[in-house]
């Protein structure tokens, strides 16, 4: 079962971002104060932990119609890359959906459903549970799972956002939101060329343990 994580990061302002620094021994770290506030950018993300692949979109603002439109377009592209779903009896297919649904009480599944192809983990926000968006997901074989803040799948998604932000903005002073978006896109492209899978108790966890 394909599992993708949806989230948004930001806002990121046009200001200096701390990063690795060089200064005389005993001297303070200094950052430039010469910058002009010029708006912010947000980064929409869809993250596949198993492969490490990430899809992003930079935006100036993120109401539901922006978030949902981008998510739909990107999810259709992701579904097209998956193997064709197996054909199941209607009852078995519905049981399959119910199994993954588990305790998501806010979901009342319709009687007729396509084969389940993808689990989409999202924040437990009202906008993520809007009727039109959830029904669109069902129609395309996607089960949305909205989990509480601090949930393990949410934390994994936020890890990739922190990684992209650090590689994009640390030590930089962007001057426009468009520049922030371009930099994030370049970072994501480079990351996807050689992504690191995110695994439970994988090498990242082992590095953390060895550091202690």
> Does the structural domain 2-11+37-211 have CATH classification 3.30.420.10?
yes
Determine what percent of the chain is predicted with pLDDT higher than 70.
Answer: 81
The helix or strand, by DSSP H or E, that contains position 58, with its residue range, turns out to be strand 53-59
- According to DSSP, residue 127 is labeled G
* Predicted confidence (pLDDT) at residue 92 exceeds the cutoff of 70: yes
CB contact at 8 A, 147 and 153: yes
24-28, 54-58, 118-122, 150-154: least confident range:
150-154
Residue 7 C-alpha from the chain's centroid? 4
Could you report the per-residue pLDDT of 19-42, keeping only the tens digit for each?
776 667 777 776 667 778 889 999
CB contact at 8 A, 72 and 136: yes
> 78 CB contacts (<8 Å, ≥6 apart)?
2, 4, 46, 48, 55, 118
The mean predicted confidence, pLDDT, of the chain is: 83
* Mean of pLDDT values over 126-155: 77
Residues 117-153: b if buried by 16+ CB within 10 A, e if exposed: bbbbbbbeeeebbeeebbebbbeebbbbbbbeeeeeb
Domain ranges for the chain, please list them.
2-11+37-211
13-22, 97-106, 155-164, 186-195: least confident range:
97-106
Q: How many CB atoms lie within 10 A of CB 114?
A: 13
């Amino acid at each position: 079962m394909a599992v993708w994580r949806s989230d948004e990061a930001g806002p990121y302002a046009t200001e200096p971002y701390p990063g690795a620094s060089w200064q005389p021994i005993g001297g303070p770290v200094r950052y430039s104060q010469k910058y002009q506030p010029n708006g912010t950018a947000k980064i929409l993300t869809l993250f596949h932990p198993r492969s490490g692949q990430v899809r992003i979109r930079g935006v100036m603002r993120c109401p539901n119609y922006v978030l949902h439109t981008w998510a739909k377009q990107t999810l259709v592209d992701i579904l097209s890359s998956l193997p064709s779903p197996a054909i199941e009896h209607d009852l078995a297919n519905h049981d399959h959906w119910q199994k993954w649904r588990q305790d998501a009480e806010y979901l009342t599944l319709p009687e007729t459903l396509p084969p389940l192809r993808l689990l989409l983990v999202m924040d437990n926000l009202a906008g993520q549970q809007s009727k039109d968006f959830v029904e669109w997901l069902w129609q395309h074989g996607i089960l949305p799972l909205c989990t509480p803040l601090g949930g393990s799948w949410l934390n994994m998604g936020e890890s990739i956002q922190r990684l992209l932000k650090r590689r994009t903005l640390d030590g930089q002073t962007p001057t426009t939101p468009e520049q922030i978006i371009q930099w994030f896109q370049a970072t994501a492209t480079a990351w996807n060329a050689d992504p690191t899978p995110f695994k439970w108790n994988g090498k990242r966890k082992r590095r953390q343990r060895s550091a202690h």
